[in-house]
Structure 1
Amino acid sequence: MSSSTAQAISLSCVHDRLLTLSLPTQAGKATRRRRSLTRVARQVLFIRNDPTAPQALIGDVFAESGFDIGTFDVLPVGTDDPVRTVAFPDPGRYDAIVALGARWAAYDDTLPWVGAEMDMLRRALDGGAAVFGVCFGGQLLARALGGTVARSTEPEIGWHDVQTDEAGLVPPGPWFQWHFDRFTAPPGARVVARNASAAQAFVHGRALGVQFHPEVDERLVEQWIADGAGEMAALGVDADGMRARTAQLAGDAAARLRHLVRGFLALGQCVPHGGEYGVQRPR
C-alpha cells in the first residue's frame, strides 16, 4: 500500500492512540515535544479461491479504510486443477476475512480444501473476526454455518436488480452476478437482500454472505467475458450488451461497494467512534 493510500483513510479502524502535546517549560520557554501518534492498522485476509477471481475493487476499499491487506491463494497462479490439499493460514492473525469467488461448486466435497476452508471461516468467527463471503465464498460461509448450497434453477450472469431490507448494510440496485448455484441462509441468519432468482445476502452475527460480485470493475468483467463465452451463450447473454451495461453501471456500483464495506465493518465493530479512531473488536 502506497503512503498516499495509507493517508487517505476513510474508516480509521485503528487503535492505541498515543498523543503527546507541546507544553511550556517552567522558565516560560516553549519547547516542542514531538507528537507521537501510533496507529496499528487492522488486518484483512482475502482468500483467493480461484486465480480468475481476485479481490479487485474490494481490496482497494479495504486499503482506503485503513487496513493492511493480506492474500492467500488456494490455487497457485498458473494452476487450474482445484483437486489439491490446502493448509490455510491461522485466522487468529486477522480482524477480517474475505472469502472470494470461484468457478467450482461450494458443495463439491471431492475438493479436499472445501471443508478446510469452511473450518477456517468458523474458527475466524469463533475468534472474534468478521467474515465476508462473496459468491462462492458466500456459499461456503452459508455451508460453514449450517446452510445449504444447490444448483440454481435460475442462474444469473450480468447486472441484475437486488432488493434489500437494510439499505445501510446492503445497498439496493443492480449488482453484477455470475453464478449457477445459490445458497440457503443458515439457521439463525437473516436474509437481508434478494431477487426473484435467489437470496442475495444474509447476516449471521459478524458474518455477511452475498451472492453477487460487488468487487468487479470493467477490466475484471472483460476478463470474465473472455473466459466465460460458453456460459454466456448458454444463457443468451450478449457480450457487447454486458460491456455497455458495465460501462453504464460500474461507477455507481463502486460507490455502493463502499457503503457495503462500511456496513460489513460495522458488523465487526470496526467503525468510526468518537471521531478519527475506531473501537477495538472483542478478543
Structure 2
Amino acid sequence: MRALVIQHEHVSAPGLVGDRLVQRGYEFTLLTVVPEERHHTPDVRFDFPEADGWDLVVSLGAPWSVYDETTVGSWIGGELALLRMAHHLGIPVLGICFGAQALTTALGGTVEAAPRPEIGWTGIDTDDPALIPPGPWMQWHHDRCVPPPGARETARNTVCTQAFRMGNSLGVQFHPEATPAVVRRWVDFGGAEQCARLGIDPEELVERSRAMEPVARENAYRLVDAFLDRVVSPAR
C-alpha cells in the first residue's frame, strides 16, 4: 500500500503517524514542499504529483496560513487540487492542522483566524472517542477550520472544530504526529517567540512533551488504527 505524505517544511515530520502507517504496512513517499533554506521565504514553486495511484494521502502541518497568498500562494493551489481530486477519486485523505485546513478549503469549507492561538497539550470534546480519543493532544495553531458543507464535525473545544470527517477523509486540528523531537524543532524554528508572546515557557513545553510521550504514542496509534479501519476501509 502506498501513502503520499506531504511535509510542507523540514521541521514538521510525520512522527508517530508515520511510524504507525509503516507498522500497518504502508510504504510512504515523503514530499517536502519548502526546502530548509527557504523556511523563512516559503513562496517557492512546487509541482505536486497526480492524485491517482496512491492508496492514502496525508497532509501534515505548517507554520503558515492556507489563505496567506503572499506566503503560500505559489504552491497551495496545487496542493488543494491534489486533495480535491484524491477525495473525488475515493482516495482517503488525512489532514493534520495546516493539512486539515487545506483539506477543508479543497472541499468547499473555509479557514479563518481562531479567536486565540492554541499551543500546548489539551483535551478535546469528542463525539466518537473510539475514532478521536479525547487526548490530551498537542496543539499549535492560530487558525481554525470552518468545515465544508456535508462534513460531520466529530470533535471540538471552545476555540474551534478539532476534527471533521467527510466521506473517507478526516481532518484533525491537533497534532497526533507530535514527538518531543518535533516539538523541539518547532520551538527552535520560531516557536519560542510565539510561546513568549503567550506567556508559555517553551522549555517547559518540551519537557511536558517528553513526559507525555507514552500517552501521545498510544493516542496517535489508536487514531491511525481507527482511521484506517473505520474511515478508510469501513466494514460493509
With normalisation by structure 2, the TM-score equals 0.93
What is the one-letter code of the residue matched to 1:145? L
* Backbone CA RMSD of aligned residues: 1.5
Identical counterparts, % of pairs = 40
Q: Distance in 1 between matches of 2:130 and 2:18?
A: 20
Q: Distance in 1 between matches of 2:44 and 2:79?
A: 13
Say which SS state the counterpart of residue 231 (structure 1) adopts.
helix
Describe how 1:73-112 pairs up with structure 2 within 5 A.
73-80=32-39, 81-110=41-70, 111-112=73-74
Describe how 1:189-268 pairs up with structure 2 within 5 A.
189-227=151-189, 228-265=191-228, 266-268=230-232
Say which SS state the counterpart of residue 219 (structure 2) adopts.
helix
Structure 1 unaligned spans of 5+: 1-41, 274-278
State the partner residue of 2:13. 54
- Which of 153, 162, 165 lines up with 2:124 in the alignment? 162
- Which of 22, 26, 35 lines up with 1:63 in the alignment? 22
What is the one-letter code of the residue matched to 2:204? G
Describe how 1:146-185 pairs up with structure 2 within 5 A.
146-185=108-147
Q: Distance in 2 between matches of 1:96 and 1:140?
A: 16
Say which SS state the counterpart of residue 28 (structure 2) adopts.
strand
Q: Distance in 2 between matches of 1:192 and 1:161?
A: 14
What is the one-letter code of the residue matched to 2:218? A
Say which SS state the counterpart of residue 74 (structure 1) adopts.
strand
What is the one-letter code of the residue matched to 2:194? E
- Which of 135, 142, 145 lines up with 2:107 in the alignment? 145
Say which SS state the counterpart of residue 159 (structure 2) adopts.
coil
Deviations 1:127-165 (A, max 9, x none): 221000000000000111111101111210111111110
Q: Distance in 2 between matches of 1:241 and 1:207?
A: 34
- Structure 1 residue 224, shift from structure 2 partner: 1.5
Q: Which has the higher helix share?
A: 2
Deviations 1:23-56 (A, max 9, x none): xxxxxxxxxxxxxxxxxxx111100112211111
With normalisation by structure 1, the TM-score equals 0.78
What is the one-letter code of the residue matched to 1:78? E
- Structure 1 residue 109, shift from structure 2 partner: 3.0
